[in-house]
A = this chain, B = another copy of it.
Amino acid sequence: MSFVAEPTRVLVAGGSGYTGALAARLIDRHPQFELATVTSRSDIGRRLSDLYPHHRVDAVFEELDVERHGEVDAAIVAYPHGASAPIVAALREREVRVIDLSADFRLRDRDTYAQWYGEHGAPELFGTAIYGLTELYGAEIATADLVANPGCFPIATLLGLAPLARSGTIADVVIDVKSGVSGAGRAATHRTHFVTVDENVVAYGVAGHRHAPEVDQELAALGAPVTATVQPHLLPLGQGELVSCYVTPTRPWSQDELDASYRAWSAAHAFIELSETPPGVRDVRDTNVCALHARVDARTGKVLVFAAIDNLWKGSASQAVQNLNLMFGLPETLGIEP
């Protein structure tokens, strides 16, 4: 491979959180991207490596100045939900191509957005983003100016259910999510205190997690117009997410048919791996891989699908880089090879 083009200059806005910092690191080491600037609201003047020694990124956090920092080809915005939209809008005005890691542009129905998140911070852009799950929207992402990077639960869920959803055979689905603590973000709270999490496991966001409508929207787009039951749990591990999907199919599936379907799905996508045994989150740690295992339960006829990702990588930052690769005409896997 030889790329002679100028490097693509990328701004990472909001680099002091887990996903923003990782995005900055991945850009920093990418053979074709250049980390133009990394900004922070809380740690201006500190080096990224002061907060995250293992990332070994010497860049110093700056205060975001869209005027000045917007002189780039692309931006990854890692702001909290709600705070992101205005920044995205300002960058789009300067024609920066943006990948937004927040939930601000994932939903396409204004009422649903309002119900779960309230007023939108850039209503003129609402509905204009491409949903940034490369395996589903690769072609659209390649030419997109605004990409809404999905939530981590939806990424694992949709990659796990796509073959079934596209076949139109999902009557009902229960999605039990098991998530590491980094998914709760870097804020120090009682909930993320080591003593609270250690030797524990607990459900949260019961009967109404914000990622549920996102899952519904995309399952419907794939051909499965269902209301999914999505239930996350917090586990005593730092990184990683396992999604256990319990599908009630509209008609019986044989294991052979299921295997064929998932083999085809995996064969078509560099980052979809099939596991002969149920995948553990350790298998995909620090990678952009989603590992899948699908089984027919002969007792009940249900189809069980297990999807493992690294919530910070495929669940956010490396997923963004995968998108960025396509947006700039590069091989999907560049800089994030498994």
Say yes or no: A293-B193 contact (C-beta < 8 A), given A233-B242, A283-B53: no
Q: How far is the CA of A212 from the CA of B304 in the complex (A)?
A: 15
Provide the residues of chain B in CB contact with A174, threshold 8 Å: 174, 176, 246, 302
A193 to chain B, nearest CB (A): 5
Say yes or no: A172-B248 contact (C-beta < 8 A), given A200-B240, A203-B242: yes
A304 to chain B, nearest CB (A): 6
Provide the residues of chain B in CB contact with A18, threshold 8 Å: 195
Within 8 A of B (CB), among A47-99: 53-54, 56
Q: Is A198 interfacial (CB 8 A cutoff)?
A: yes
Provide the residues of chain B in CB contact with A207, threshold 8 Å: 295-299, 304
B202 with A199: CB separation less than 8 A? no
Q: How far is the CA of A202 from the CA of B243 in the complex (A)?
A: 10
Which stretch, A100-108, A155-163, A180-188, touches the partner chain B?
Answer: A180-188
Say yes or no: A242-B199 contact (C-beta < 8 A), given A188-B188, A193-B194, A236-B235: no
Provide the residues of chain B in CB contact with A240, threshold 8 Å: 199-201
B227 with A300: CB separation less than 8 A? yes
Q: Which of B188, B200, B280, B281 contacts A192 (CB 8 A)?
A: B188
Q: Which of B53, B178, B228, B295 contacts A279 (CB 8 A)?
A: B53
B56 with A338: CB separation less than 8 A? yes
Q: Is A325 interfacial (CB 8 A cutoff)?
A: no
Q: Is A286 interfacial (CB 8 A cutoff)?
A: yes
Q: Is A208 interfacial (CB 8 A cutoff)?
A: yes
Provide the residues of chain B in CB contact with A295, threshold 8 Å: 206-207
Q: How far is the CA of A91 from the CA of B94 in the complex (A)?
A: 64
A297 to chain B, nearest CB (A): 4
**Interface flags, A231-252, vs B, CB<8A=1, else 0:** 1010111111010101010000
Provide the residues of chain B in CB contact with A290, threshold 8 Å: none
Q: In the complex, what residue of chain B is closest to A306 when comparing beta carbons?
A: B203
Q: Is A278 interfacial (CB 8 A cutoff)?
A: yes
B248 with A201: CB separation less than 8 A? no
- Give chain A's interface residues, CB within 8 Å of chain B: 18, 53-54, 56, 172, 174, 176, 178, 180-182, 186, 188-190, 192-204, 206-208, 212, 227-229, 231, 233, 235-240, 242, 244, 246, 248, 275, 278-287, 291, 293, 295-300, 302, 304, 306, 338
Instruction: Give 8 nearest A-B pairs by CB, closest first.
Output: A202-B280, A53-B283, A207-B297, A203-B278, A200-B282, A188-B188, A176-B176, A181-B194
